[in-house]
């Protein structure tokens, strides 16, 4: 057997073992509700931190209604998040009126919005649990992907066959699509929390965005930030330089807490760590290109020792090298369009909070 064939067999075997581990993690898909910036009932913001690599989600409670971020993986898991959001909303409501003995009993505010930072199934296939009572918000490009039947079928099959995610037999594409789309920025204003959705263009995938809570100094970064995980490469766009630029821009925000797409929550330094990893990856691949290495040679030679203890480092690093190699081979990063300078987001640049804003749907509630 030739050396290249032996490498392929070893890589395939490692990938098969990896899928078994991921299936165990995603199949159970448990998460822990973590209050941010205060104790339960005395804070407005919660992270639903996935166990063993499962995706993270979020819950925001307000007196007008609750908001969830990135309902994960399946309608069944989305329903679980819905119930947790209603429970947190009731806790908020009971605490708000605890001292008002004359108040009449009322139901806690329901979930009014589900926000998607990406079209990717791990952060959107739980949307269906909210479609009857809530609006679903995503960027225009992410919304287009969620409306693509072929794309949805591919993602659903991947989750079902390789990762053994439960509850997908209930999944329906029409009930997953956003009801509101935006580009640039959109702000939802409530008496307690201002919620800014910021389009960052194509970073991990088409139409990524982040959720910024300026008053609480919290950022839900979606898959732009992963803690202790090598980024999953399948289905990604070749846009790592845009990804790095978005991370640099986000570091200008006043932040205390960053909620990654996968992994433990942390401080603003998570943005810098992700930027440092991606910049090192680009530098190493650029050096391989300069030395005249082929794609296969680069995939086998590029190593990043500072990330060597991350989960799936050996299994997924070659795929990341491939994406960057192909991107750098295409030439310089395209310049932002004229629309970007005026605040509207494009695939080549990031729109910061001062940009063009969509309407505030809360005003019509």
Kindly report the number of other CB atoms within 10 A of residue 298's CB atom. Answer: 21
CA-nearest of 38, 359, 68, 42 to 211 is: 68
For 319-347, the pLDDT digits (tens) are: 999 999 999 998 776 544 333 323 343 33
Q: What is the pLDDT of residue 134?
A: 94
Across all residues in the chain, what is the average pLDDT?
A: 82
Q: Residue 259 pLDDT > 60, yes or no? A: yes
Percentage of the chain surpassing pLDDT 70? Answer: 78
Query: What pTM, to 2 d.p., does this model score?
Result: 0.84
Q: How confident is the model at residue 352 (pLDDT cuts 50, 70, 90)?
A: very low
Angstrom distance (rounded) from CA 227 to CA 94: 35
Residue 167 and residue 121 in contact, taking contact as beta carbons nearer than 8 Å? no
| Rounded Cα gap, residues 232 and 74, in angstroms | 19
Helix and strand tally (H, E) in the chain? 9, 13
The answer for residues whose C-beta is within 8 angstroms of residue 200's C-beta and 6 or more apart is 208, 209, 210, 224, 242, 246, 249, 250, 345, 350, 351
Q: Compute the average pLDDT of residues 282-307.
A: 97
The packing angle between helices 313-329 and 240-250, to 10°, is 100
* C-alpha of 45 from chain center: 17
How many residues in the chain? 365
Task: Give the confidence band of 358 by pLDDT, cuts at 50, 70, 90.
Answer: low
Nearest to 43, CA basis, from 91, 78, 103: 91
The order of strands in the sheet holding 208-213 is 257-262, 218-226, 208-213, 194-201, 185-189, 357-358
Both tokens of 296, joined, read: 């296969």
For the chain, which domains are there?
3-364 (3.60.15.10)
* pLDDT (tens digit per residue) in 241-251: 999 999 999 99
Is the predicted pLDDT of residue 204 greater than 90, yes or no? yes
In the prediction, which pLDDT does 170 show? 67
Strands (E), the chain: 31-36, 45-50, 57-60, 66-69, 111-115, 135-139, 180-182, 185-189, 194-201, 208-213, 218-226, 257-262, 357-358
In this structure, the strands spanning 185-189 and 357-358 are: parallel
């Amino acid at each position: 057997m030739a050396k290249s064939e032996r490498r392929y067999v070893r890589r395939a075997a490692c990938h098969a073992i990896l899928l078994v581990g991921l299936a165990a993690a995603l199949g159970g898909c448990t998460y822990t509700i973590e209050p941010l910036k205060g104790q339960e009932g005395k804070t407005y913001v919660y992270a639903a931190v996935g166990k063993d690599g499962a995706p993270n989600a979020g819950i925001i409670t307000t007196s007008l209604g609750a908001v969830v971020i990135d309902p994960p993986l399946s309608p069944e898991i989305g329903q679980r998040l819905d119930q947790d959001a209603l429970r947190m909303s009731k806790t908020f409501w009971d605490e708000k009126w605890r001292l008002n003995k004359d108040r009449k009993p009322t139901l806690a505010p329901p979930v009014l919005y589900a926000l998607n930072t990406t079209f990717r199934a791990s952060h959107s296939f739980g949307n269906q649990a909210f479609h009857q009572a809530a609006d679903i918000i995503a960027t225009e490009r992410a919304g287009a992907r969620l409306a693509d039947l072929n794309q949805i079928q591919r993602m659903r099959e991947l989750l079902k066959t390789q990762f053994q995610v439960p509850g997908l037999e209930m999944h329906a594409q029409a009930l997953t699509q956003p009801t509101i789309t935006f580009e640039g920025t959109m702000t939802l204003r409530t008496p307690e929390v201002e919620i800014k959705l910021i389009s960052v263009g194509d970073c991990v995938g088409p139409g990524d965005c982040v959720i910024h809570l300026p008053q609480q100094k919290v950022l839900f970064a979606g898959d732009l930030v992963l803690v202790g995980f090598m980024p999953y490469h399948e289905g990604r766009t070749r846009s790592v330089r845009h990804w790095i630029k978005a991370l640099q821009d986000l570091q200008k925000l006043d932040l205390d807490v960053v909620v990654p797409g996968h992994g433990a929550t942390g401080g603003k330094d998570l943005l810098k760590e992700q930027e440092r990893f991606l910049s090192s990856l680009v530098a190493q691949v650029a050096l391989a290109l300069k030395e005249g290495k082929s794609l296969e040679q680069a995939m086998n030679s590029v190593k990043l020792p500072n990330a060597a203890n991350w989960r799936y480092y050996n299994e997924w690093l070659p795929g990341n090298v491939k994406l960057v190699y192909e991107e750098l081979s295409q030439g310089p990063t395209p310049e932002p369009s004229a629309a970007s300078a005026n605040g509207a987001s494009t695939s080549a640049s990031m729109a910061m909070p001062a940009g063009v804003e969509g309407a505030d749907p809360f005003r019509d509630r």
